[in-house]
């Protein structure tokens, strides 16, 4: 049985997540994690329901304690799990839980596709004027590393989480970037034209 903390967010494996805890049920949960070292799960809450795939979370530290009992915490995401049975409240606890099955997740991708993705990501971040450090070696790049920075909707992030092999995630991300980059380029052109409004223009005839 794994304690569950449903949130309107998607957490990817190996991600570091900082959370502000204010509800009594989750203050109780984090207190028990701190005392026992137990983990908990964050399944995404979408379309008014708890999704069946989630990410196991380990408490790293309590960063701040507030006088009213609220907490700022730092956590690290571990692997994935699938909820077999969900309980809104565990016995003698305020928080939810579930019977879960841990899910295998393939992390090895295609190096050539990784290189192509890095090139497209560099173009995207340059066009958006976003400073983002990307690895030089494609072998050091995993799609989870930038999944929150490429304009996915929450639903797309969950779809991405459900892809359980890196090659599949690479393909999903590649298709997304190939759709996104022309739109960003068009925005650049619109921005350039807006900045030129009122300036003298070269009168170059078409013929």
Q: What are the tens digits of pLDDT across the range 123-181?
A: 998 888 888 889 989 999 999 999 998 989 999 999 999 999 999 999 999 999 999 99
Q: What is the DSSP letter of 60?
A: E
21 and 73 inside one domain: yes
Is 203 a domain residue?
no
10 token code pair: 């998607």
- Angstrom distances, CA of residue 81 to CA of 2, 54, 55, 159, 181: 10, 5, 6, 15, 33
Structural domain range at position 139: 111-196
Query: What pLDDT is stored for residue 204 in this prediction?
Result: 44
CB contact burial 111-121 (16+ within 10 A = b; e otherwise): eebbeebbebb
pLDDT at residue 196 greater than cutoff 70:
no
- pLDDT interval class at 50 (50, 70, 90): very high
Same domain, 93 and 129: no
Express each pLDDT in 52-106 by its tens digit: 999 999 999 999 999 999 999 999 999 999 999 999 999 999 999 999 999 999 9
The answer to whether residues 96 and 34 belong to one domain is: yes
Considering the domain architecture, whether residues 76 and 152 belong to the same structural domain is answered as no
pLDDT of 189: 57
Q: What is the pLDDT of residues 165-181, one digit of tens each?
A: 999 999 999 999 999 99
The enclosing domain of 81 has a CATH number of 2.30.130.40
pLDDT at 191: 57
User: What pLDDT is stored for residue 193 in this prediction?
Assistant: 47
Tokens of 136: 């030089």
pLDDT of res. 188: 64
Whole-model pTM: value is 0.85
Query: Is 24 in the same domain as 61?
Result: yes
Q: How many domains does the structure of the chain reveal?
A: 2
Q: Are 78 and 122 in the same domain?
A: no
CA 41/CA 81 separation, integer angstroms = 8
Q: Is residue 136 part of a domain?
A: yes
């Amino acid at each position: 049985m794994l304690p569950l903390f449903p949130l309107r967010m998607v957490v990817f494996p190996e991600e570091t997540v900082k959370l502000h805890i204010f509800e009594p049920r989750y203050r109780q949960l984090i207190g028990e994690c701190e005392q026992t070292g137990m983990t908990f799960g964050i399944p995404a809450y979408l379309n008014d329901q708890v999704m069946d795939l989630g990410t196991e979370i380990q408490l790293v530290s309590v960063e701040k304690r507030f006088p009213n009992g609220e907490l700022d915490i730092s956590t690290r995401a571990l692997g994935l799990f699938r909820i077999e049975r969900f309980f809104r409240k565990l016995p003698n606890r305020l928080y939810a839980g579930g019977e879960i099955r841990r899910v295998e997740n393939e992390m090895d991708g295609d190096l050539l596709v990784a290189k192509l993705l890095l090139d497209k990501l560099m173009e995207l971040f340059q066009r958006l004027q976003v400073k983002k450090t990307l690895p030089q070696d494609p072998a050091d790049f995993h799609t989870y590393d930038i999944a929150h920075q490429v304009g996915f909707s929450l639903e797309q992030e969950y779809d991405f989480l459900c892809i359980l092999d890196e090659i599949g995630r690479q393909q999903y991300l590649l298709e997304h970037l190939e759709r996104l980059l022309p739109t960003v380029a068009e925005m650049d052109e619109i921005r350039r034209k807006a900045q030129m409004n009122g300036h003298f223009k070269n009168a170059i005839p078409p013929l």
